[in-house]
Amino acid sequence: MKLSEIARLLGGRLHGDPDAEITGVSGIEDARPGDITYLLKPSLQEQAEGSAAACVIVKEAFLPGFKKNQLAVDDPQLAFVRLLEHFHAAGRPPAGISDLAFISGGAEVDSQATVLPFVFIGEGARIGAGSLLYPGVSVGAGSKIGRDCTLHPNVTVREGVTIGDRVGIHAGSVIGSDGFGYIMREGRHIKIPQVGGVVIEDDVEIGACATIDRATTGNTVIGRGAKIDNLVQIAHNVKIGAGCIIVAQAGIAGSSTLGNYVIVAGQAGIADHVRIEDGSVVGANSGVMPNTRLSKGAYAGSPVLPHRQWLKAMSLTARLPEMNKAMQDLEKRLSELERRFLREE
């Protein structure tokens, strides 16, 4: 693809050879001859110039004295994303239902959906136009999958789940498994029937081997545009707002509510009946205790503290050995003073 064509695609301004042939897209460290890369910050200019890349995407203004081809755009990182999409557009199987798929008689599969071998679609389930179900996907009775969704191999969607449009679910994830609810009676755990559902709104992406439990009653809800990483556990009756980011190995216990655009970092644990307000950040390895309400802000630690307070606590933690020694020295001196005082009496 010629640089002039890329400039038109991205709406950028070109400084250099418009006929230069671009054969790939890569980061600065991995750039090969013919690749186009991007400059995220000025401190990387020397590294970019020393790379093998044929062209560098820069922000708004051309770099003086820079010897490589340059493409100036408003947002280099977004331009890089668009080029990755363009150069690496995944091939898509044609629409249609494989003879090796099992479709229950009462299921409805749009003629523009793609259902590959060894997919199971239960009674009363509905699959929207443009959706793609890879081998091993199971869709339970009465579940609804919207338009242009992609369910990767071995995804399980249990019964009574509603999935919106343009949702991506990666391999091995389970949507609508039973919530973890028991009561103790006479020395044994009695299971609480989990009869609710799951609602996943439009433009959500769910990573591999994530689990989202059905509600006890009502629905577990994942809001529009939320992005959920691999190996995340979301329990029954959780409500996650629009645009949230939940990072790998995080766990959210039952009946907790996250507002819009909340970030939960890796391996964070959120106990039951927690409420986290819009725009908050819960740091990695943090623990949020039950029945806690976090106002908008950044939090870290276990149990969580406001981030600035946690930083102060951590700085004191690092000094605990010397503080302990100083205390022991003070105790020793105090004991000597007490003995001397008693002798003088």
Output the six-digit token pair for 30: 């991995």
Burial of 250-259, coded b for 16+ CB within 10 Å and e otherwise, reads: bbbbbbbbbb
Mean pLDDT rounded to a whole number for the chain? 95
Q: What is the pLDDT of residues 275-326, one digit of tens each?
A: 999 999 999 999 999 999 999 999 999 999 999 999 999 899 888 899 999 9
Instruction: Give the span between the Cα atoms of 30 and 181, in whole angstroms.
Output: 49
What's the pLDDT at 345?
A: 66
246 with 227: CB under 8 angstroms? yes
Q: What is the pLDDT of residues 126-159, one digit of tens each?
A: 999 999 999 999 999 999 999 999 999 999 999 9
Instruction: Give the span between the Cα atoms of 52 and 31, in whole angstroms.
Output: 6
119 with 135: CB under 8 angstroms? yes
**Phi/psi zone of residue 65: left (φ > 0), alpha (ψ -120 to 50 degrees), beta?**
left
Q: Which helix (H) or strand (E) holds 336?
A: helix 320-344
Question: Is residue 108 classed as helix, strand or coil in its secondary structure?
Answer: strand
Entry pTM: 0.89
* DSSP string across 304-328: TEEHHHHHHHHHHHHTHHHHHHHHH
Structural domains for the chain: 3-87 (3.40.1390.10), 96-307 (2.160.10.10)
Instruction: Give the span between the Cα atoms of 206 and 26, in whole angstroms.
Output: 25
Q: What is the pLDDT of residues 60-111, one digit of tens each?
A: 888 888 889 999 999 999 999 999 999 987 778 999 999 999 999 999 999 9
Residue with tokens 């890369």: 37
Which residues, 6+ apart, have CB-to-CB distance to 105 below 8 Å?
Answer: 123
**How many other CB atoms are there within 10 angstroms of residue 290's CB atom?**
12
Residue with tokens 């136009």: 129
**Inter-CA distances, 123 with 113, 130, 156, Å:** 17, 20, 15
Q: What is the DSSP letter of 99?
A: T
Task: Give the model's confidence band at 175: pLDDT under 50 very low, under 70 low, under 90 confident, else very high.
Answer: very high
Residues marked active site are found at: 236
Q: Which helix (H) or strand (E) holds 7?
A: helix 3-10
Output the six-digit token pair for 68: 């490589």
CA 329 to chain centre: 50
